[in-house]
Amino acid sequence: MRHPALRTSALALCAFGLLLSGCQNSGDAAAKRALESVNVVDETNLNDVMLTVADPQEAVSYFTKASAEKPDRIDLKRGLAKSLIRAGQSTQAVAVLNQIIASPEAGNEDRVNLADALIRINDWPRAEAELNKVPPTYETFERYRLEAMVADSKKNWKKADAFYETAIGLTTRPAGVLNNWGFSKLNRRDFPAAERLFTEALTYDPSMFTAKNNLVLARGAQRKYDLPVVPMDQTERAELMYTLALTAIKQNDLSVGKALLAEAIETHPQYFEAAVRSLSALEG
């Protein structure tokens, strides 16, 4: 008489066991999804670190390995290309960017990045061709910065000036492009305009030594042989005096050049071999 009850209890236990099993499976799946989400976040953070603050060669190694393991991930290829450019390996970056461009997932930014890498290896014609494939509606700082450089290389000054001006309006950090524009004016021998642009670049980035050196060149070309009032440490001061001295000597202002070389040697906190050698040659 107790058999039906036993069967009922067994069935109940069975059902309870199945319920527990189902809950466990559901919990495992949820845990797995959560873990995957965490892994994606961790990987994204690591990718960002590698692209910004990591050692360039370390970033290249990381993205090379990651791309090999997941060849279908275009974001990892993009990371590899950017890392290669940071590491000064632009030829290899071009090869990776060519693969990206061939992908159906490629966009306008990828083509602009390819043009950038091509300029870095002095392949100006192909860089221009790639930029020409970017629709005019794609308006970014990088695009116009590169357009300005290409126009500069062709001595199309009017177009270069327009592109530089547009690029400056599209960034909050225009120091680099102002320096490039100033160097363009320097090459055109428009020294006052170059001086203004280098000075403006330094208002955005007072630590940019290239802009300081270019500013001294622009001023020296106008026979302004005093150093500009810009932030500089003792070593920079000596090096800028040396640049100014060489500019004076090239313009046959030998006594000014000699005095500046002597002052550069005196100012430099260490032995300034290049200036000493130049002064010896001038006196000899």
Three-state DSSP at 156 gives coil
**What digits encode the pLDDT tens for the residues 48-62?**
776 665 688 888 898
- Per-residue burial over 167-188, b = 16 or more CB atoms within 10 Å of its CB, e = otherwise: bbeebeebbbbbbbbbbbbbee
- Please give the pLDDT value at position 6: 40
Residue 13 reports pLDDT greater than 60: no
- Mean pLDDT of all residues in 21-33: 49
Residue 21 reports pLDDT greater than 90: no
Percent with pLDDT over 70 in the chain: 81
Percent with pLDDT over 90 in the chain: 75
- Please give the pLDDT value at position 132: 96
Q: Based on the number of CB atoms within 10 Å of its own CB, is 253 exposed (0-12), middle (13-18) or buried (19 or more)?
A: middle
Place of tokens 């050692």: 55
- Mean pLDDT of all residues in 17-26: 43
- Please give the pLDDT value at position 29: 56
CA separation for the pair 153, 157 (Å, rounded): 9
**What digits encode the pLDDT tens for the residues 128-172?**
999 999 999 999 999 999 999 999 999 999 999 999 999 999 999
Task: Name the residue ranges covered by the structural domains of the chain.
Answer: 48-106, 232-284
Which token pair is 207?
Answer: 């630590």
Residue pair 113/97 in contact (Cβ under 8 Å)? The answer is yes
- pLDDT-based confidence at 14, cuts 50/70/90? very low
Mean pLDDT of the chain: 86
Residue 191 reports pLDDT greater than 90: yes
